[in-house]
Structure 1
């Protein structure tokens, strides 16, 4: 199970705003000290131009307001990322369908689907291992619409393959032999979650699934014993 919290991001953002505020206060303190010194040393018959230091004071006030607003924005971003991390936790252990071609073969089985926009002349399904080598090829459905693909984890010669990451490539052709666009989805259990560059990423085994690619979520199926009771982990 993998969970990366946004707390570090929030702390970093808050620390940056605090450092900017401290530098501003130091600059303002030095400016006021210099201003007092100049006022004390000014010629009463030729006083300083008040507009100049008033303008500088206004600039300091504007910068302080900007830092204040930025600190609030950074806090809001941190809270949003924290809420996002909390939402990701709810996915752990669930079965999801997501857009994509890569899936994890687990316990000798995997499931995917593909959708044809119209009737195809021919459709070919090729399963490749993590090195990109074809391990299983079969002809697919040619009718328009959505079709399911269930794989038992065996290669073309019927030999079982090890669990791991595989990719399903679905190719279809129009009647004139031109390629037809095919949309694909994969199914699997979510085993981890993380924040990657501000994006929420789920893990289906070793396969990364961006949260925005998730199409549906359901509870995992619970096995039932011959007594009609849910099986325990030792019985499953």
Structure 2
């Protein structure tokens, strides 16, 4: 798969348009308020001038609207800088091998690999592999030691023994200790980052057909992640 960066222009344009419209509305209200205030001052009755308290309140409102406009400009600048920094960081992952939290892995070259990390030793663990439609394609029972360990599925279907088609598969682990109590098993996947999707609010790494949020990355480089 070719590496690259993808984005949805429509989503970005919509968000930008919404922000621009909001700023224009505030600016329009500010201009209208300023016009009304100056007109009111010009047309005061010298014999019955504007009440001092009322005038003060209007000046406070004027200052408040002005500060809101400045705050919006600063927030926009901060958000743009943060997005640029996040994008630059995400593109640095392209071509890197990363390990991230997840249950879904690609079956390629006759195998799919996960990292299993039981919270404690499990004397009985049922490992189930499902295809993209949720159908069970393979199942195995085995014991698991505590700590990170690699689990490799050879891609063979339990029902026929034939090789499963290339695609995305999900692992499910039901583990119990010697007393029959449930054991929590964290699952992780390792793969090479092919590209980055920038269409959402935060970048998403593309590993084969899997989508991995940067926040899920636990290790950069080959090997087990603890």
TM-score normalised per structure 2? 0.83
Segment drifting more, 96-105 vs 197-206: 197-206
Q: Tell me the equivalent position of 2:99.
A: 97
Larger-gyration structure (1/2) = 1
Q: Tell me the equivalent position of 2:23.
A: 17
- The 1-side partners of 2:109 and 2:62 are apart by 65
- The 2-side partners of 1:141 and 1:90 are apart by 38
Matches within 5 A, 1:219-234: none
Point out where structure 2 has 5 or more consecutive residues left out of the alignment.
none
Point out where structure 1 has 5 or more consecutive residues left out of the alignment.
220-236
- The 2-side partners of 1:161 and 1:2 are apart by 30
- Does the 8 Å contact 1:194/1:200 carry over to 2? yes
Q: Tell me the equivalent position of 2:211.
A: 208
Counterpart secondary structure, 1:145: coil
Q: CA RMSD in A?
A: 2.5
Segment drifting more, 146-155 vs 177-186: 146-155
- Does the 8 Å contact 1:115/1:183 carry over to 2? yes
Kindly state the Cα deviation for residue 216 of structure 1 after the two structures are TM-superposed: 1.1
Deviation track 1:108-160 (CA, whole Å, cap 9, x = no partner) reads 33211101222222122211101111112223342222210122322224322
Counterpart secondary structure, 1:199: coil
Deviation track 1:166-204 (CA, whole Å, cap 9, x = no partner) reads 101122112222321111111122233234653332222
Q: Tell me the equivalent position of 2:66.
A: 64
- The 2-side partners of 1:177 and 1:215 are apart by 30
Deviation track 1:50-99 (CA, whole Å, cap 9, x = no partner) reads 33223202211122112211220122112212221222111223221111
Aligned residues: 215
Counterpart secondary structure, 2:106: strand
- The 1-side partners of 2:73 and 2:173 are apart by 49
Structure with larger RCO (C-alpha < 8 A, sep 6+): 2
Q: 1:43 to 1:170 in 2, by over 3 A?
A: same
Matched, 1:34 2:40: yes
